[in-house]
Amino acid sequence: MARSDYLFTSESVSEGHPDKVCDRISDAVLDAFLAEDPEARVACETLATTNRVVIAGEVRGPATVLRQVEEIARQCVRDIGYEQDGFHWANMEVEQHLHAQSSDIAQGVDSAAEKDEGAGDQGIMFGYACDETPELMPAPIHFAHAILHRLAAVRKSGAEPTLGPDAKSQITVRYADGKPVGVSSIVLSTQHLDSSMTSADVRAVVEPHIREALPEGWIVDETVWHVNPTGKFVIGGPDGDAGLTGRKIIVDTYGGAAPHGGGAFSGKDPTKVDRSAAYAARYLAKNVVAAGLAARCTLQLSYAIGVARPLSIYVDTHGTGEADEAAIEKAVAKAMDLTPRGIRTHLELNRPIYQRTAAYGHFGRAPDNEGGFSWERTDLAEALRAAL
């Protein structure tokens, strides 16, 4: 029997976290290629450290984009807000080591007269949805993101000029009868630009914004606060800690409330099922919950490199289902073409929509007018409800 009263914790990191700086640059490079060629192939990795950014990987697309990579990296860092001695968008060194995609990989992915386009790699991908929030996301990760998104907004607007770009949040949510009802602890570490500020000073700045980001009544007198618990946090970003693309996969997905297949997202074009099939799995799981077929749904897909169709589809509704799980598996397989080409077509993924995903989570965000977060639509709910 599932537990009904418990605590669960998730964390998030800001767009200025060293790893997220790298995710942002990698996705910006990907967007630049897709803007020129929707069929471009990109696997872009970024390393960031003190006043240095190194970009490497495999690409197949317009050579003109390669000449833009350094400027793309500088613009990303500038928008994030780094203008400190140890990491400055104008002064940092940028190395670019992108080269042609392996022909051995390409032959497995590309379509031909005798074969469909195959998956770019083997792997397992998970999607998850639950009815804890209107966005059908787990509450702990959703609100951990919301805190940092709010702090980034007031930092960039100038309302809170003492805050720096680098930050981490962590909240522990209290569940009663299986539903989130409050926060037992809040952890926030944020870079600050005034070296004289104490932890108490930082809390005075951030607390009103944290209270606005969380549901009314969730913070009570017993809620434990840890704001900059180590004290001063002036040296931030890649100057304080090196960053790499793809190191925050649990932050990117469900905050530990659901499994993750292991593959990272940022810097990968949508032929890579690490990314596109994870988006498809979220899309299908969200539509199952939106259709009222379950209060919680975990959905797994698996692929083999060079093979178009998924090897397996698995659904678990965690005892909350209104329909047989095997029947749901058959219904979602009929509702969507789950080949790499089918996913990209259905969700319109061959567009420059990825830079916006690099921070504050790939899931639980509203679909936008440019096609971003198309996997958050619930336009299959009615069809699934009818089928079952």
pLDDT tens string 355-382: 999 999 999 999 999 999 999 999 999 9
- 248 flagged as catalytic: yes
Find out whether 58 is annotated in a ligand binding site.
yes
Instruction: State whether residue 5 is helix, strand or coil.
Output: coil
Same-domain pairing of 127 and 148? no
- 265 flagged as catalytic: no
| Residue with tokens 């930082």, as numbered in its chain | 202
Same-domain pairing of 158 and 127? no
- Domain end residue (candidates: 210, 236, 262): 236
Q: 215, 199, 255, 195: which is closest to 10 by C-alpha?
A: 255
Is residue 57 assigned to a domain? no
Is residue 48 assigned to a domain? no
* Catalytic choice (168, 282, 296, 362): 168
- 156 flagged as catalytic: no
Same-domain pairing of 127 and 189? no
* Catalytic choice (241, 329, 337, 348): 241
Find out whether 166 is annotated in a ligand binding site.
yes
Same-domain pairing of 224 and 278? no
Same-domain pairing of 215 and 286? no
User: Could you give the CA distance from residue 310 to residue 280 in angstroms, rounded to a whole number?
Assistant: 12
Find out whether 286 is annotated in a ligand binding site.
no
* Catalytic choice (8, 15, 17, 126): 17
Burial category of 97 from C-beta neighbours within 10 Å (exposed 0-12, middle 13-18, buried 19 and up):
exposed
- 19 flagged as catalytic: yes
Find out whether 68 is annotated in a ligand binding site.
no
Q: Answer whether residue 111 shows pLDDT above 80.
A: no
User: Could you give the CA distance from residue 184 to residue 214 in angstroms, rounded to a whole number?
Assistant: 12
Find out whether 248 is annotated in a ligand binding site.
yes
- 110 flagged as catalytic: no
Instruction: State whether residue 180 is helix, strand or coil.
Output: strand
149-171: average pLDDT: 97
Complete edge-to-edge strand list for the sheet that includes strand 52-60: 93-100, 52-60, 41-49, 243-244
Q: 210, 191, 207, 201: which is closest to 150 by C-alpha?
A: 210
What CATH number is attached to the domain comprising 278? 3.30.300.10
* Catalytic choice (23, 269, 274, 376): 274
Q: What is the pLDDT of residues 163-190, one digit of tens each?
A: 999 999 999 999 999 999 999 999 999 9
Find out whether 309 is annotated in a ligand binding site.
no
Is residue 298 assigned to a domain? yes
* Catalytic choice (36, 58, 116, 135): 58
Q: What is the pLDDT of residues 282-317, one digit of tens each?
A: 999 999 999 999 999 999 999 998 888 999 999 999
- 272 flagged as catalytic: yes
Same-domain pairing of 155 and 208? yes
Cα within 13 Å of Cα(102), Cβ side: 8
Same-domain pairing of 149 and 127? no
Is residue 294 assigned to a domain? yes
Find out whether 272 is annotated in a ligand binding site.
yes
* Catalytic choice (56, 106, 242, 387): 242
Tell me the percentage of the chain whose pLDDT exceeds 90.
90
- 233 flagged as catalytic: yes
What domain range is 198 assigned to?
A: 6-13+139-236
* Catalytic choice (155, 174, 203, 247): 247
Same-domain pairing of 223 and 277? no
Is residue 283 assigned to a domain? yes
* Catalytic choice (248, 275, 282, 296): 248
Tokens (6 digits) for 93: 């060194």
* Catalytic choice (268, 275, 282, 286): 268
Compute, in degrees rounded to 10, the torsion defined by CA atoms 302, 279, 347, 385. 80
Is residue 380 assigned to a domain? yes
Is residue 171 assigned to a domain? yes
Our count of domains for the chain comes to 2
Find out whether 376 is annotated in a ligand binding site.
no
Name residue 267's amino acid: G
Least confident of 28-32, 91-95, 234-238, 258-262: 258-262
Same-domain pairing of 282 and 367? yes
User: Could you give the CA distance from residue 269 to residue 281 in angstroms, rounded to a whole number?
Assistant: 17
Tokens (6 digits) for 318: 């965690």
Same-domain pairing of 291 and 204? no
Return the pLDDT at 262: 77
CB 18 within 8 A of CB 236: no
Find out whether 221 is annotated in a ligand binding site.
no
Is residue 221 assigned to a domain? yes
Find out whether 115 is annotated in a ligand binding site.
no
Same-domain pairing of 277 and 379? yes
Q: What is the DSSP string of 340-365?
A: HHHHHHHHT-SSS--GGGSSS-SSSP
Find out whether 241 is annotated in a ligand binding site.
yes
Return the pLDDT at 106: 54
Same-domain pairing of 315 and 363? yes
Least confident of 40-44, 90-94, 262-266: 262-266
7-34: average pLDDT: 98
pTM: 0.95
